Structure formats: structure tokens, C-alpha cells
Amino acid sequence: MCGICGAINLDQKPIDRKILIQMAQTLSHRGPDDTGFLVEKNIGLAQNRLSIIDLSKAGHQPMFYGERTTSSAYDNQNLAIVYNGEIYNYLEIKEELIKKGYKFKSQTDTEVILAAYKEWGIKCQEKFNGMWAFILYDKKNQTIFVSRDRLGVKPLYYLADKKKIIISSEIKAILAYPGVKAKPNERIIWDYLVTGWVDHSAETFFYGIKELRGGHYLIIKNSELRIKKYWDLNQKENDLSETENIQKFRDLFIDSVKLRLRSDVPIGTCLSGGLDSSAIVSQVNLFLKDERLDQVGRWQKTFSAVYGKGYSNCDESQYIREVIKKTGAKPFFVYPEGKHLKQDLKKIIWHQDQPFLSTSIYAQWNVFKLASQKKIKVMLDGQGADELLAGYTGYFGLYFQNLFQKRQIFTFIHELFFFFKKQPQPLKKLQEIFTRGLRAGWLGQKTTKFFQKTNPTYKVFNPDFLERFETSKRFNFSKDSFQNSLYNSLKMNLSSLLHYEDRNSMAFSIESRVPFLDYRLVEFIFSLPANYKIRDGETKWVMRQALKGILPEKIRTRQDKIGFATPEEKWLKNDLKEELKNVFSSKSFAERGFFDQKNTLLLFEKYLKDQFSDGQLFWRLYNLEIWFRVFVD
């Protein structure tokens, strides 16, 4: 895992090496083990390396690759790359290339990417199973080829104007380029404040700086920039039996975890106590019984955020203990506190490059910090399963709606019955489902506008700001409303979670791997009918069936979805109360042009008196103001 950046002067002026050094310094946390530069006329590349596979100097980047001659020697080094990520199936691709006559000087996956490009060109992306972002310079063809993995696990941003193109793993490196100023993007700020969306489009919080989206590549040739999509989900037919589908899920999950154990450094696992992280920890434990995979260490180390007694709404200690009891893993715990959040917030926002949506990010920050203190360089995490398998409570409402629309009345009644039978607090959940459905626009744009005019939440915004933009359109993937919602969740909600995951882990020079986002597993899950995701009052039905014998039964059958929760309300009303009041009362907050300062303070007082419940609204307002102070002011 690394930090990469590059600059191309379209006016053909030489690249200043000092500028590359300046950009790379902002990414030093992503790769503290080595730094390398390439400057060739108007093109410059830089990389900070976090050594994970082949720790020797042979893994130094930029890495170069030459022509294969008839004598099987390599010269005329026409290819150069800076790369961030892991190609998990690099050994299989390497074996295929060796059979074609290719030779390799290192044990890295980086060299495999170069050889794969030499053999297959841009179609090499289709061969890779992993997470990546790379900038490849093809000197012979005078082409820059920039690629990002299918689901966007690893980040990549760019700024393009008539004179230059700047590319980087993180936006702060682009801002380090002379003359580039941090100009706020009001469209994205509006989405963040009003709809609670981030990372849902190619636009960022910084006007003019864009994200290369997952499944896309970028070509720079003859001073022109072209972006193309090379991968997306499609609606494949699934003709397997129920038994075959359950077994295929199990096989793909196991193989995905196995591939992500390829490492030359110690591996740890995040453990929240939920189905997803528990499944990974349990499967890793089974692999540890195989001596051939013992490179991850004799004892598996797990890292968890817990809060103790009195925090039942966010503490999952009892489930964590179940996993530890079953696996014998060595657990490590961290206890995040609100009083420390204020001290760490500016640093976290600097690493994130943007404001974030909830304090759960701070809990994750502390987990990776603890893992770093224990000398762990690679962590496995359960990100993505909820978005793929309808793991959130709100999906019940979408599923019920879908059944009703399709006039599957018997199934609708059946599922509603089991929902009341199995789900904790079903009436409260139904109310939440209905309310969220309205706000998400189930009744159309008019409903959204109605909420903006009548809901007290919106009184904190200046009327002219509130009316400035319309809610961004969602992706139209399928005529099936349930499947369409899952697709949007994967493309929008998951993008923000992956953003947080990457920045929090890399802040502590840790590579985070997400087995549920193996593209083979993702494509397979999307081929399954809706009743494989929700059935008999349970979410993630196929996963629960497939992981029998792997997961502890108490976890496999649990229905109380907590998520990676924190005692956010207590923190806001106690530890951060005075801080938020000071920020909301500040001159800078009032002059942003987004907020009605008087109404914000009045509504916050109501929140403190339990007369208003939307605490995340105040968290967003507070976060945005701190972001302005870190990057813009």
C-alpha cells in the first residue's frame, strides 16, 4: 500500500523535481518505507512505499520494465509505473506470463502489472483481482495510462486544466502543487449538508478536483485526457439451484479471504462482533490450522472498539467474546472517548480530505491506531457486505415495497409476519423505514421539497442556499426497485465507507483489505434474486446459510443490527457541547453563507433538551466548519 502522485505539463515545460518532492511529502504517511521519483521532461511521477510483498529493494518504485528481445533479456525500459494497492492473484497471472516467455526480477505484484500491460495492454485490468490505483507511463507510445480498481477501494484524484494534469492518491498532494488553491465546491457541500451524501460522484469538496471513479481508467495522449469505464455490474441470469448458490457463496468467500492473506508482513483483523467481521476472523482461524498459510502469524490478532457497561446501543463485547472463544484469537481493545475526539478532529479531517458523516469514523480511527501500535501492517475488514446483501434495516421497507409492486401478496404477508416475529422492536423499525423512505424520495421530488419546507431540520440553512440545488439523481440500474437500491448503495454509500477506510488505515501506515469486495463475489451476489438477501424476516439470508459451521451460531442467527456505532449522542451532548456552541456562534460560521446562525443555535439548544433528535445534523455542520478552517481559510 502506498501513496502515488504525478504531474504532466501539457505545455511541454519541464517538471520541477522540487514540486514532486513537495507533493510526495504530503503522502509520507501512506508509505514510510521508501520514496522514489521519475522526472522526464514534462512528466513527473512519485511514490511513497509501504512494503507488503517483497520487502527488498527490488520493490522500489517507480518501477521500470523493458522490451523482451529474442534472447529473453530486457532492455529499452519503455514502461514505468507508480502503484498503490495489491493484485491478489498476481502469482496466477505471473505463472501465465512465464509460460508466455516473460521473466521477472522481483517477487512483487508491481512487476506483474507491467508485464501484464506489455502483454494485454489496457485489457490487463480485466485480469486483475485486487485493489489498485496506478499511473503507468508508456514511453514508446507517449501515453499515460491511469487505472483504478473496479469498486474504488483504492483512491485516485486528478486536476486538469489547459496547462497541466495533476494526479494523486489524496487531494492534499494536489493542493501542494504551486498555484492550486482550495476552492470549496458548493454543489458537494449542499449534498453533504442537505442529503447526507459524500463520495457519490466524481466531484469532490474541492472545486475543479475530481475523483477517478472505481471501474474507470484514464488515458493521456497528445495532451488530451480521456476517461473510460472498463467494468460495471450487469444483470446476469442465475440458473443455479438454491443449494448450489449457497455453496458458491461459501466457496467464493473462502477463496477471497485466502487470497487476501498473501503478505510478507503481519496481518490483523478488525472485529466489531457483527456478522461480517466475525465471518472473516472465523475463516482466517480455519486457515491458520493449515501450516502452509501460517505466514499471518501463529496467533490471529483482532482489534475492536468497545465502550463498556451503559452503552448497550453501541457495545458488542458479548459477540466479540463469542468469536474469541471459538477461534482463540488474541484480542486487543480500544475505548474511544468523546473528550479526545475534539483534540483529534482536525488531524482526522486533514487525513480524510473532507468532512465526514458520523463519529463512527473516530472509532475506526482508534482501531487502526491500536493496530499500528501493535506493529500490524495489514488489516482485514468486513466492509461491503451490508451494501451487497441488504444488511441494513431500511432494506426491509424496500423489499416490502418491491413485493407489493410485483403483486406478490402472499410473500409480502409471509415476510411481514416473520419481520414481526424475528426483528427486535419491529414497530419502531417500521416507523423508521417509512420515514426514511419518504425522505429518500419514494414519493418523488415534491415530497423532498415538502420536507425541506416543513421539517425543522432545514431551518438551520439559509433559504437561498437550500433552494440553490436539487437532490442529485440516483443511478438507474434496473427496473427492479430493490435491485436498483442495492446498486445505488454500492456505488454511493459504499464509496464513502471505502474513503473512510482507506484514510483511517493509511493515516497509520496500514493496508486495509476487504474480502467481501472481491469482484467475483460482488458479481455473483448481484446475480441472486432478492429473496437470497432478505428471507423469513432475516437480512443476508444466503450468507447466514453459507457460513454455517464457520460463524458461531449466536452471531450467525443474531438480528440486532448495530453497525459500527458509537455513543454519538452522549458525546455531542456532553463532551462536545461547548465546542459545538462556540463553533456555531463564531463569525466564520455565520459568514459561510450556508447557515442561519440564530436558528442553528436555537435548534441545538432543543437538541440538548431532548426536544429535537437529529444529532447528525449538528455533527455535519460542525465538521464542515472545521474542514473550512483546515483547508480553505
314: annotated active-site residue = no
- Is 486:388 a contact under the CB 8 Å cutoff? yes
Do 188 and 258 lie in one domain? The reply is no
394: domain CATH number?
Answer: 3.40.50.620
| Residue 385 lies in domain | 233-341+356-566
pLDDT at 451: 55
The answer to whether residues 258 and 365 belong to one domain is yes
Please indicate, yes or no, whether residues 221 and 98 belong to a single structural domain of this protein.
yes
Last residue of a domain, one of 198, 229, 260: 229
Domain-located, residue 350: no
How much is the pLDDT for 73?
Answer: 39
| DSSP string of 13-48, one letter each residue | PPPPHHHHHHHHHTTGGG--SEEEEEEETTEEEEEE
The domain spanning residue 198 has which CATH number? 3.60.20.10
Q: Quick one: pLDDT at residue 227?
A: 98
Tell whether 347 is covered by a domain. Answer: no
Q: What is the pLDDT of residue 438?
A: 47
Question: Is 13 within a domain?
Answer: yes
Q: Which residue in this structure is represented by grid cell 451460531?
A: 553
Question: In this structure, are 255 and 165 located in the same domain?
Answer: no
Q: Do 336 and 425 sit in the same domain of this protein? A: yes
Q: Which residues of the chain have pLDDT under 50?
A: 68-75, 292-297, 438-447
> 112 and 246 share a domain?
no
- Of 182, 212, 229, the last residue of a domain is 229
Same domain, yes or no: 238 and 303: yes
Residues 585 and 610 in one domain: yes
Last residue in a domain, options 194, 229, 264: 229
pLDDT for res 450: 55
Question: Domain for residue 290, yes or no?
Answer: yes
State whether residue 379 is helix, strand or coil: strand
Other beta carbons less than 10 A from residue 499's beta carbon: 20
Residue 226's Cβ-count burial label (10 Å; 0-12, 13-18, 19+) is exposed
Q: Edge-to-edge strands of the sheet including 209-211? A: 34-40, 43-49, 2-9, 164-168, 157-160, 209-211
User: Is 351 inside any structural domain?
Assistant: no
In a domain, 348, yes or no: no
Contact 338, 576 (CB under 8 A): yes
Altogether, the residues listed in the chain come to a count of: 633
Looking at the structure, do residues 180 and 206 belong to the same domain, yes or no? yes
Residue 583 belongs to a domain: yes
**What is the pLDDT at residue 296?**
44
Domain contains 409:
yes
Do 304 and 158 lie in one domain? The reply is: no
Does residue 394 sit in the same domain as residue 455?
yes
Q: What pLDDT sits at residue 443? A: 44
How many distinct structural domains can be found in the chain? Answer: 3
How far apart are the C-alpha atoms of 170 and 158, rounded to whole Å? 9
Q: Can you read off the three cell numbers belonging to residue 338?
A: 468523546
2, 5, 270, 314: which one is catalytic?
2
Same domain? 591 vs 558: no
What distance in Å separates the CA atoms of residue 579 and residue 32, rounded to the nearest whole number? Answer: 34
Q: pLDDT tens, 299-326?
A: 799 999 999 777 767 889 999 999 999 9
